[in-house]
Amino acid sequence: MVMQRREFVRLMGAGALSLTAAPYVFSKPIDGGADPFMLPELPYADTALAPVISANTISFHYGKHHAGYFSKLNKAVKGTKHADMTLEEVVAAAHKDNNGGLFNNAAQAWNHTFYWHSMKAGGGGKPSGKLADAINGSFGDFDQFTAAFSKTCGGQFGSGWGWLVQDGAELKVIGTSNADTPLVHGMKPLLVIDVWEHAYYLDYQNRRGDYIAAILDKLVNWEFAASNLG
Ligand code: MN
């Protein structure tokens, strides 16, 4: 399909909020016909992250969970004021209106797209340039950042997410529960790890710490994180 700008903007929320004005390089959406929101394609093959994250995990996590959030989101917004909003606007509106059902599906649709882009084959290592300077400025050095990020991701009770965010001039690591997202807390996401059990249980069972360490070591997409730095 030829992607229309309106669809791209709606999906990505480019410029919808000042928080997210950075030009995210999200992958193009899969044609969803008449659906207001379209699941973006994975930015790599489903085998690309193996053996850290198997194609089997991705088949369920992307193909069932992420797709499912889009499916429920589309059912919820059809024929409502939310159908013409960007995804980020739906997240913000649902949060403001205390519409938990809509918020959960919209935020999970957004969070997962951000998660897929937070990783790449041959990632890991250390950031460079301005992002490295910002990390050193906020955490002391890269090892202290890694320790703080690993602790936050590993210590998140139950389902949720571990984020590196920009909060004003500071970088912080924060955990959010369930579908909660820094977008509605005035913070700009730079990087995320999904720590719901569905993200790692097929490959790591209960060893969440091993999953987090392997992502940091082999998959983190520091170029994506740097591109989000405002
Ligand atoms: Mn997930």
User: pLDDT for 41-69, tens place per residue?
Assistant: 999 999 999 999 999 999 999 999 999 99
| Ligand 1 midpoint to CA 65 (Å) | 7
163 vs 152: CA distance, rounded Å: 8
| Ligand 1 midpoint to CA 213 (Å) | 17
Please, where are the H alpha helices in the chain?
A: 5-12, 55-60, 67-77, 87-96, 100-117, 129-139, 142-155, 197-204, 208-218, 222-228
Whether 27 has a pLDDT exceeding 80, the answer reads no
pLDDT band at 9 (very low <50, low <70, confident <90, very high): very low
pLDDT of residue 35: 86
Whether 8 has a pLDDT exceeding 50, the answer reads no
User: Which residue ranges make up each domain of the chain?
Assistant: 129-228
| Ligand 1 midpoint to CA 194 (Å) | 6
pLDDT band at 5 (very low <50, low <70, confident <90, very high): very low
Q: Which residues surround ligand 1, an ion (CB under 5 A)?
A: 194, 196, 199
pLDDT of residue 7: 40
Average pLDDT over residues 213-226: 98
| Ligand 1 midpoint to CA 125 (Å) | 24
Residue 78 phi/psi, 5-degree rounding, is: -55, 130
| Ligand 1 midpoint to CA 49 (Å) | 15
| Ligand 1 midpoint to CA 7 (Å) | 24
Q: pLDDT tens digits for 155-203?
A: 999 999 999 999 999 999 999 999 999 999 999 999 999 999 999 999 9
- Cα-Cα-Cα-Cα dihedral sign, residues 117, 122, 126, 131: negative
CATH class in words for 129-228 = alpha beta
Q: What is the pTM of this model?
A: 0.88
| Ligand 1 midpoint to CA 129 (Å) | 30
Bond from prior residue into 51 cis (ω within 30 degrees of 0): yes
Q: What's at 126, amino acid-wise?
A: K
Whether 10 has a pLDDT exceeding 60, the answer reads no
Residue 120 phi/psi, 5-degree rounding, is: -155, 160
pLDDT band at 228 (very low <50, low <70, confident <90, very high): very high
| Ligand 1 midpoint to CA 66 (Å) | 7
pLDDT of residue 34: 76
Mean confidence (pLDDT) of the chain: 89
| Ligand 1 midpoint to CA 40 (Å) | 15
| Ligand 1 midpoint to CA 140 (Å) | 30
Half-sphere exposure (Cβ direction) of 64: Cα atoms closer than 13 Å: 9
Number of helices (H) and strands (E) in the chain: give both, helices first: 10, 3
